[in-house]
Amino acid sequence: MHNYKELKIWQKSVALAVNIYKRTRSFPKEELFGLTSQIRRSGISISSNIAEGAYRNSNNEFNHFLGVANGSAAEVDTQLFIAKELEFISQSEYEEFNLEITQIQKMNYTFQQTLISKNQKS
């Protein structure tokens, strides 16, 4: 079991979700139950899956949830790209989000490799 609150990847993904919530406040009201909701849920899903995986019974299970979190990161990146195309966010805002997401994905991959390595040693 891992203390997920101490993991930098969890901390960064929570910060991303908070940034997403703040930025999507100004999205068109008619998108509240559409793209806005979807982006928010995907953003929250990253840190939520990291937390859930951390309290699973094995590193293999944790690794699975890290994979799900990485999928959510790709999902939110796609949704933010669509938001940019619809001009709900600017190109520079999208690039900032994309940088955050890419950092999280790289950290996630590295952490997954660490867990795989630990499993191979045991």
Convert the pLDDT of each residue in 64-116 to its tens digit: 999 999 999 999 999 999 999 999 999 999 999 999 999 999 999 999 999 88
- Considering the entire predicted model, what is its pTM? 0.93
Q: Which amino acid is at 54?
A: A
Q: Which amino acid is at 114?
A: T
Predicted confidence at residue 122, as pLDDT, reads 61
Predicted confidence at residue 119, as pLDDT, reads 74
> What gap in Å lies between CA 27 and CA 99, rounded to an integer?
21
Q: What percent of the chain has pLDDT over 90?
A: 88
**Are 73 and 105 within 8 A, CB to CB?**
yes
1-45 per-position pLDDT tens digit: 689 999 999 999 999 999 999 999 999 999 999 999 999 999 999
